[in-house]
Amino acid sequence: MSNTVQKKRSKRRSKTYRQIGMIINLSFFVIIIVVAIVGVFHTFTNKRDYRDKGVSYYEQGDYENAIQSFDKALRCKQWFSGKLNVDIELYKADSYIKLTDYDEAGKVYQEITDKYPKRYYDSNEVKFMIKLCEALQMYKNGDYYSPVPYLTEAVEHGYNDMCLNVAYCYEQQNNYDKMIAYYDKHIAAVGITGYVAYKYADYYIYTGDYSDALSYVNQGIMLNSEEYMQKLKYLEIICYKGMADFETAYNYALTYNTEYPDDEAGADILAYLDTRVNINTNLVNDVYNVGNGQ
């Protein structure tokens, strides 16, 4: 083979290699561009904006809109967002708890354990919340025995709002000593509320201790709890009636019936107190004519 032919072949091979190299480099460059574009779309999303909007709704107590925003955030496919996703899921689960949708809350906690690495969350805490959601669902369904161990454990974990659930369970079991013990825990942790004042007053009326009952009634009324104001004002009448202060009870009953004219219990107690305060001196069925002075 002549040198000329060899040179031509060598030149063709070199040209082919250069073309292949250019194609490889171009393909690599295109891949880099595509990855970069995809990376931008999967790195810079609206995930955090939706998350922050959901948190804002959450803090305002608008849990339904909060959940909708959290779902939008979770649908944003963003790279390296595992820790952020878990944060969103935890807010979402607690939103369901606030709405007393314990089944859905439990599903969200379970999803966390199924989808995300444990380095992003406290595994023991999430597992505990799954059990707590099951207990709260039993409580919601009217089971006041089975959930108690889990609810009391929640109190020990620092979930002080569970004190009210435990106290109500014990009330339904007629275990009033433990009921009061958990109301005491609630007051020690977060202070007295209109609901707790009402429950204490109702309990002390049940035991016949009207003075202590009245003390809690007054505390509840001072809190100006609109939800329990009517109940507290009714118990106020019961307390004075129980202490045989019929005049005061009657005056409060008059005010109560003016404020709540449709309450039959209020009308009944006013009618009773009227017989104790406005005594009818006219004799009924005067068969011996005593009223005539004879």
Is residue 294, in this structure, part of any structural domain at all? no
The total domain count for the chain is 2
Q: What is the CATH number of the domain that holds 242?
A: 1.25.40.10
Q: Please report whether residue 28 resides in a domain.
A: no
- State the residue range of the domain holding 274: 192-279
Q: Is the pTM value of this prediction over 0.85?
A: no
Report how far residue 221's alpha carbon sits from residue 215's, in angstroms, rounded to the nearest whole number: 10
Give pLDDT tens digits along the chain (294 positions): 555 656 556 666 666 656 665 566 554 443 444 333 333 344 457 999 999 999 999 999 999 999 999 999 999 988 878 899 999 999 999 999 999 999 999 999 999 999 999 999 999 999 999 999 999 999 999 999 999 999 999 999 999 999 999 999 999 999 999 999 999 999 999 999 999 999 999 999 999 999 999 999 999 999 998 899 999 999 999 999 999 999 999 999 999 999 999 999 999 999 999 999 997 665 555 555 555 544
Q: Is 5 a domain residue?
A: no
Question: Is the backbone of residue 263 left (phi > 0), alpha (psi -120 to 50) or beta?
Answer: beta
Of 65, 62, 61, 87, whose CA–CA distance to 74 is shortest?
Answer: 87
